[in-house]
A and B are shown apart, each in its own frame.
Chain A
Amino acid sequence: MMKIERADMGLERLLRALEQEVLDASDAEIIEVAHELGMKPELKGSSAFFGVTMLSHYGMATQGEPMPNMSVVKRDVFKTE
């Protein structure tokens, strides 16, 4: 069991290390995992990109229609003061 005092600092260190692992992952490794999950990232409209290039909110993902900019709608959440 990990120590829980200042868990935020431990988490920050852990996330940075895991982030580096993801950054270090090769393209081939990522594509291989996507295929194992049944995704076909080489195809346009692949489920690998739900929430990234296509909306995934509330089943709104559509093809061929202009998408509302959800990021702008929600920017208040992340606004800096």
Chain B
Amino acid sequence: MGEPAKFEERSALPAARALALNLVSKVDLMRLKVLARMHARGLPSEFGWSDLLQEAFARVLDGSRTIPKDVPTVAFLAEVMRSIKSEYWKRTQRHTLTLRSLQAANPNKAAILADSAPNPERMLIAVEEVLAIEKLFAGDAPARQVIAGLYDGLSPNEICTRFALSTTDYESIRKRIRRALLKAHLRNPQ
């Protein structure tokens, strides 16, 4: 059994503890900051990207999520963040369904909510999220085309065919997309 963690280590943010344990590098942390910002959009405003990121690290550090041997740590943490966000929306959906069944039991108050699956709030926020991503590429029409193709679930080949792009064009657009994402999400709010 190792030595008990010092107070500073125990009280540090989970991401800082993971860095101290060499679970991730400093560049990985920047990569994860970008991913956390991307995934935290659509969560309630009082729970920011930092909370999402620290929670993902906490789940790995406390053993509630185990990193599979063949999956890189950063990719796994990204998956954990996605699953945390998905859990949040599932809980919201359950609350909506409970409210709907309560209203069904009381006909006088029924018909307030339309029967709608999926959750309309989720749909609205998803549209806002997509628009926010599109806005990052406002001055770059080819990048917006690639974004539209990815949204539709097209493969790189299908995107090139649909928008008459060469492989070189596509790779160059991918690079612009990566840089725009990194720039937008590494920047600290003013």
Q: Does A11 lie within 8 Å of B126, measured CB to CB?
A: yes
24 contacts between A and B (CB under 8 A): A3-B152, A6-B118, A10-B126, A11-B126, A14-B130, A18-B150, A18-B177, A22-B178, A23-B72, A23-B75, A23-B78, A25-B182, A29-B179, A33-B183, A41-B30, A52-B16, A54-B16, A69-B12, A69-B13, A69-B14, A70-B13, A71-B14, A74-B51, A77-B51
Interface string of B149-190 (1 = CB under 8 A from A): 011110000000000000000000010011101110011100
B50 at the interface (CB under 8 A from A): yes
**Given A14-B150, A53-B15 in contact, is the A25-B31 Cβ separation under 8 Å?**
yes
CA distance A16 to B151 in the complex (A): 10
Of the listed stretches B33-41, B97-105, B108-116, chain A binds B33-41
B148 at the interface (CB under 8 A from A): yes
Interface size classification for chain B: 35 or more
Interface string of B137-157 (1 = CB under 8 A from A): 000000000011011110000
Interface size classification for chain A: 35 or more
Q: Does B27 lie within 8 Å of A41, measured CB to CB?
A: yes
- B123: chain A residues at CB < 8 Å are 4, 6-8
**8 Å CB contact of B58 from A13, A25, A50, A75:** A75
CA distance A55 to B147 in the complex (A): 33
In residues 1-47 of chain A, which contact B (Cβ within 8 Å)? 2-4, 6-8, 10-11, 13-19, 21-25, 27, 29-31, 33-34, 36-37, 39, 41, 47
Residue of A nearest to B131 (CB): A2
Q: Does A7 lie within 8 Å of B15, measured CB to CB?
A: no
The B interface is mostly helix, strand or loop, or mixed, namely: helix
**Given A25-B178, A75-B58 in contact, is the A53-B19 Cβ separation under 8 Å?**
yes
Q: Does A75 lie within 8 Å of B55, measured CB to CB?
A: yes
Q: Does A51 lie within 8 Å of B11, measured CB to CB?
A: no
CA distance A22 to B72 in the complex (A): 13
Q: Which among A25, A50, A56 has the greatest number of chain B C-beta atoms within 10 A?
A: A25
